Amino acid sequence: MSRFTNDSVIAVIGAGTMGAGIAQVAANAGHQVLLYDAAEGAAKRGIDNTAKGLAKLVQRGKITQTDADALLARLNPVDALTDLASANLVIEAIVERLDIKQQVFGQLEEICAESTVIATNTSSISVTAIGSTLQRPQNLVGMHFFNPAPIMKLVEVISGLDTDPQIAADIYALSASWGKQPVLAKSTPGFIVNRVARPFYAEGLRICQEGGADIATIDALMRECGGFRMGPFELMDLIGHDVNYAVTCSVFSAFYNDQRFLPSLIQKELVDAGHLGRKTGRGFYDYSDNAVKPAVKTADPCPAPESITVEGALGVAEPLVSLFEQAGIRVNRIDNDEVEGMITVGDATVMLTNGQFTTMRAGETLRPNLINFDLALNYSQATRIALAPADQASAEAIQAAVGLFQAIGKSVSIIDDIPGMIVMRTVCMLANEGFDAVNQQVCDEQAVDIAMKGGVNYPCGPIEWVNNLELSYALDVLDNLMDAYGEDRYRASPLLLRKVAGGA
CA dihedral of 420, 221, 239, 212, whole degrees rounded to 10: 50
Set 8, 92, 139, 156: catalytic member: 156
**H or E stretch covering 114:** none
369 contacts 348 by C-beta, under 8 angstroms: yes
Residue type, 472: S
* Residue 244 one-letter amino acid: N
Q: Which residue among 28, 88, 121, 123 is the active-site one?
A: 123
Q: Which residues contact 147 (CB under 8 A, 6 or more apart)?
A: 17, 18, 21
Looking from the CA of 148 toward its CB, the CA atoms found within 13 Å total 8
CA 388/CA 212 separation, integer angstroms: 9
Q: For residue 243, which of 267, 213, 266, 224 has the smallest C-alpha distance?
A: 267
**Paired strand residues for 375:** none
Catalytic residue check, 468: no
Distance, CA of 270 to CA of 201 (rounded, Å): 14
What is the Cα–Cα distance from 136 to 115, expressed in whole angstroms? 10
146: region left, alpha or beta (phi > 0 left; psi from -120 to 50 alpha): beta
Judged by DSSP in three states, 263 sits in coil
CA dihedral 161, 165, 168, 172 (to 10 degrees): 140
Cα gap 253→126, rounded to integer Å: 13
C-alpha span between 226 and 386 (Å, rounded)? 11
Residue 199 main-chain phi, psi, to 5 deg: -65, -25
Burial classification of residue 93, based on how many CB atoms lie within 10 Å of its CB (0-12 exposed, 13-18 middle, 19 or more buried): buried
In Å, how far are 94, 315, 350, 395, 400 from 346, measured between CA atoms? 62, 22, 10, 12, 6
Q: Which positions ≥6 away from 227 have C-beta within 8 Å?
A: 376, 377, 378, 381, 382, 459, 460
| Catalytic (active site) residue 31 | no
Catalytic residue (one of 139, 175, 187, 194)? 194
Residues sharing a CB contact under 8 Å with residue 19, sequence separation 6 or more, in sequence order: 12, 13, 35, 37, 46, 93, 94, 121
Catalytic residue among 8, 88, 144, 369: 144
DSSP helix/strand/coil, 484: helix
- Distance of alpha carbon 323 from alpha carbon 162, whole angstroms: 56
Cβ(361)–Cβ(372) below 8 Å: yes
Give the active site residues: 123, 144, 156, 194
